[in-house]
Structure 1
Amino acid sequence: MKQMKRKLLSGMMLIVLLFSGWKILTILTENQHNQRILADVQKVYQKQAQQTRSVTSTKPAFVELKKINPDIKGWISIPDTAIDYPILQSSDNDFYLKHNYQKEIARAGSVFKDFRNQSESEFNTILYGHNMKDGSMFADLQNYLDEDFFNKHPTFDYETETKSYQVEVFAAYETTTDFYYIETDFSQPQAYSNYLTTIKQQSKFKTNVTVTDQDQIITLSTCDTGFDYEKGRFVIQGKLIEK
C-alpha cells in the first residue's frame, strides 16, 4: 500500500513538473514572438519617420503602419527604456488589453489609447499598457519612481497620425483605481482646473513644468501590484508641446 502511494505521489509530482515546464516554455515562446514582431513594426516606423509631409496630411510612417493595422493611431518613445511602441485603439478598452498590433491573442497586449479619446483637441489623452515581467510594454514606467531617473528624463516623444509632440513630465505617482485619474469629461466649468490641481498634488516629485487649463496633457497608466495587488496603478502625466 505504501509503495502504491509513493508511486501515485511521484506520478502526480511528475505531472505537475511537466505542466509547469510546458507553461514556462509557452510564456517564453510567446514573449520571444512578441519581441520579434515589435522589432518588425519598429523598423517600419523608423524607416518612414524621417520623410517629409505636408502640414495636414498623414505622416508617411503612419501610412505604412496603417497598412499593417488601421487601428494604429500613434507612437510613443521614452528615452533609456524599452518603450518604443505603436499605439492602438479599438471601440473598447478590452481588445488590445489581450491582443498585439497584429490582432493576435497575446498576454502582453498592446499599448493602447482610451476608446473615449476621439479627438486630438481633447484635454486628457490616456494610454494604457501592461506592466510585463519581461520588461516590455509599460513595465519601464516605474523607472520614474526613482528620483534620479525622473529628473534626468523630463521629456519623451508622442506622435499621432498628423502631429508630433514633446511631452513634459509633471507628475508620477502610485495610486489605485479608486482615484479617477482617467477623467476625460471636463465639460463643467472649473472641472479641468480642479483635476490638474489634484493630479499635481499626487506626484511623488515636484517639477517646474507649468500646466494650465489651456494645456493638453497625456496620461500613461500601468498596473502596480507592489502598491496594491488588486487595484494598484502607476501613473505618469505630462504636458503636450507640439513640435
Structure 2
Amino acid sequence: MLRFWKRLNDLYGRLVIVVFGLVMLIGLWQVYDNYYTFSHALDDSILKYKPDPDDPSAMKDSPITDEMVAWLTIDGTNIDYPVMQGDDNTKFLNTDPFGNYSLSGSIFLDSRCSPDFSDGYSVIYGHHMEYGHMFGALDDYLNPEYLKSHSSGTLMIGRNAEKVCRLRVFASMKVSAREKTVFDIDNDGIRQYIRDNSEVMTEEEDSRILALSTCAGADSVMRTAVFCYIED
C-alpha cells in the first residue's frame, strides 16, 4: 500500500510539472502574439508606398495589392495608411495591404461602398491598436478640444491618387456595432442621427460624409465613430 501511494504521489508531481509547463507555454505564446501584432501595427515603412498625386507611376512597382482604393491621412495623428476594400468585410480584418495574413489587418472601406467614395455616406474600419496606431487614435476625438485641433486630413482616392480630397472632422460618438443607422451604408438618416447622438459636433454642411470606425474596447460591442466631411 505504501508503494502505491508513493507512485501516486510521483504521478501527481509529474502532472503538476506538465500543467505548469503548459501554462508557461500559453503565457509565452500570448506575449509573442501581442508583440507580433503590435510590432506589425507600428511598422511605418508602408509610408514609402504612399502615392504621389504628381507622379502617377509612383505606385507601378508597389507591393500593395490592387485592392487598395485610397490613402487616408489625418493630420497630427498616426493615421496615415492605405485603404483596402474586399468583396466582404472580413478579409482585411486579418490581411495586410500586401495580401499576407496579419493579426492587425488593414484599414478598409466597407465592401458595400463605392470605391471612388462617390456615395453620400461611406465607412472605413480599422483595428484599435495601442499608442494611437491603426485606428487607436479615434478615442481622442471624443475630446472636443482634440477634435478641434486635429480636424484636417486628406483622402487620396484611387491607387494612383487620381483624385485628392480634403477631409474635415466634425463629429464623434460611441455607438453600438448593431446600430443600423451608422453601419447600414444605404441610409438617408445618418445626418439626423449624427446631429442627435454625437458626443462632439462642431458644424454641419452638405458635403459627403466619411465615418471612421473602430472597437471602443476589448470584447466590446461598442464602437468609436468619427465623422468627416469629404471636400472636393
Aligned residue number for residue 16 of structure 1: 23
Rounded to whole Å, the distance in 1 between the matches of 2:151 and 2:42 is 27
CA drift of 1:156 comes to 1.8
1:56 maps to none
Counterpart pick for 1:122 among 107, 119, 126: 119
Aligned to 1:29: 36
Q: Which has the larger radius of gyration?
A: 2
SS in 2 for 1:174: strand
Paired residue type of 1:195: I
1:93-132 equivalences in 2 (<5 Å): 93-118=89-114, 119-132=116-129
Instruction: Specify which structure has the bigger relative contact order, considering alpha-carbon pairs within 8 angstroms and separated by 6 or more residues.
Output: 2
Deviations 1:11-48 (A, max 9, x none): 31122112211331243135434544xx3321121xx5
Q: Which residue of 2 aligns with 1:70?
A: 66
The alpha carbon displacement at 1:62 in A equals 4.6
Gaps of 5+ in 1: 54-58, 187-191
| Deviation at residue 117 of structure 1 after TM alignment | 1.4
- Quickly say closer, same or farther: Cα 1:31–1:182, change in 2 above 3 A: same
Over the matched positions of the two proteins, sequence identity in percent amounts to: 23
Q: TM-score, normalised by structure 1?
A: 0.80
2:210 paired with 1:210: no
TM-aligned CA deviation for residue 152 of structure 1: 1.1
Measure how far apart 1:239 and its partner are: 0.8
Deviation at 1:175, TM superposition (A): 0.8
> Which one-letter code corresponds to 1:175 in the other structure?
V
**Residues 44 and 64 of structure 1 are in contact (CA less than 8 Å); yes or no, is this contact kept in structure 2?**
no
Inter-CA distance 139–30: structure 2 relative to 1 (3 Å threshold): closer
- Normalised by the length of structure 2, the TM-score is 0.84
Ranges in structure 2 where 5+ consecutive residues have no aligned partner:
1-7
Listed as ranges, the matches of 1:183-194 within 5 Å are 183-186=184-187, 192=188, 194=189
Q: Are positions 1:159 and 2:171 aligned together?
A: no
Q: Which moved more, 1:195-204 or 1:18-27?
A: 18-27
